[in-house]
A = this chain, B = another copy of it.
């Protein structure tokens, strides 16, 4: 028996065992801004991103238990839908093409007054969560009633969510008034607070529907419990005018006076802003959630998206609810946001594709106080990832993957989605089957809604 030869060099370190290795033609990590890496791999372990490096290096350094080789794909951080009302998926198309007040008074409010329930919210939110995951969204910021039903739907589907605990002055089937809403909301939060993919926020509906006392309590609770604040702000001219008569100031000024203006604030819509208000938002580090499709569909106006970015305000993107959009499709909002910002500013270079992708990922993460955990492909962050297939004929030729994603691709090109390292979409389909009875339940709600419609 020949004795073994003495080692001549230090042997290579044995490969490190990891959960998952994803390789892609392009990786758009979002940090640094505008970066596009070619032929890179993302290494995932225990739900987090462990490494981002060239494919060849990854193959020699790591021994993955599972591997996902994406060919002509772009891998991006999972999209963050920073404003949604998931349950309203059941109200999709329930009042199209109506003026805002008729839409609310004849359709949305009566439907909510009659049908709001745990079951309605769970089913609607389930539909929305499934639609969002298939469309590349990995995190949603939702505001609606029945937070426990919302939480269950998001846990059922595996979509990361911030459940907004609604506060509103008037009673609904869900609660009696601000104190009751808060008590119920905080109880739901206690029940689900250990769930790693759930967070909670305080969601005063809007300055025109919440009084001073409740807003002051929200501000205090946000500090005490370290929660974000999610509210509608300056969506329509009329709500600002009415607020001026009722309170003697514009809504943002009142939020400021009551202590709600800080980096905790995600102000949704912000369509009508004066320059001083934009400066105020920037100064306090508040975020704006821009919902371009909803603002058009309800004829609310054109948010000053390019001016907000220029002033240094963090801007996120949201779909709003399916009753006012009617696609819960954040990818299409990136296209619309870029196109609209160019049209409104009169500058075709405004809001380039990278700006839209940033708003839909890192911008959303920051608006939700999650920028240390999600929003970019960086080691240490959660493995929330979306793969978009760029090989389709309608996406050729391909000069810049970011522009291709924003301007030409659609959610139908989303091929794979992971949330905290769990594959939720593969080959364009959800990995979870449709829950038994969901289709029939949706049909039942549709029939109930039709029979209760005011004509």
Give the interface of A toward B (CB within 8 A).
Answer: 90, 92-94, 96-100, 103, 127, 130-131, 134-135, 293, 295-302, 325-329, 336, 338-340, 342-343, 345-350, 352-353, 393-394, 396-400, 403-404, 407-408, 410-412, 434, 439, 442-443, 445-446, 449-450
Contacts and interface: CB of A to CB of B under 8 A. Distances in A.
Contacts of A327: 394, 407-408, 410
Contacts of A349: 97-99
Given A326-B407, A348-B100, A442 B302 contact: no
Contacts of A90: 397
Contacts of A350: 299
Contacts of A130: 393
Nearest to A131: B394
Contact of A93 (B99, B397, B410): B397
Nearest to A328: B394
A445 B300 CA distance: 44
Contacts of A339: 293, 296-297, 336
A393 B340 contact: no
B348 A98 contact: yes
Nearest to A428: B412
Given A327-B394, A343-B301, A446 B399 contact: yes
A325 B450 CA distance: 38
A96 B397 contact: no
Contacts of A345: 299
23 contacts: A92-B408, A93-B404, A94-B399, A96-B353, A97-B338, A97-B348, A97-B349, A98-B348, A99-B348, A99-B349, A103-B348, A296-B343, A297-B342, A297-B348, A297-B407, A298-B342, A299-B342, A299-B347, A326-B403, A396-B439, A397-B445, A397-B446, A397-B449
Given A100-B348, A349-B98, A299 B396 contact: no
Contacts of A394: 131, 134-135, 327-329
A307 to B, nearest CB: 15
B348 A408 contact: no
A93 B393 contact: no
Contacts of A393: 127, 130-131, 434
A94 B407 CA distance: 12
A309 B280 CA distance: 41
A298 B410 contact: no
Given A397-B446, A442-B397, A97 B297 contact: no
A395 to B, nearest CB: 8
Contacts of A399: 93-94, 96, 446, 449-450
B96 A407 contact: yes
Nearest to A134: B394
Contacts of A400: 93, 96
Contacts of A299: 342-343, 345-348, 350
Contact of A352 (B97, B325, B340, B353): B97
Given A97-B403, A99-B349, A396 B342 contact: no
Contact of A342 (B131, B134, B296): B296
A170 B253 CA distance: 58
Contacts of A352: 96-97
A45 B169 CA distance: 63
A455 B439 CA distance: 54
Q: Point out which of A94, A336, A404 has the most chain B C-beta atoms below 10 A from its C-beta.
A: A336
Contact of A301 (B93, B346, B407): B346
A336 B292 CA distance: 11
A250 to B, nearest CB: 20
A127 B93 contact: no
B93 A398 contact: yes
Contacts of A450: 399
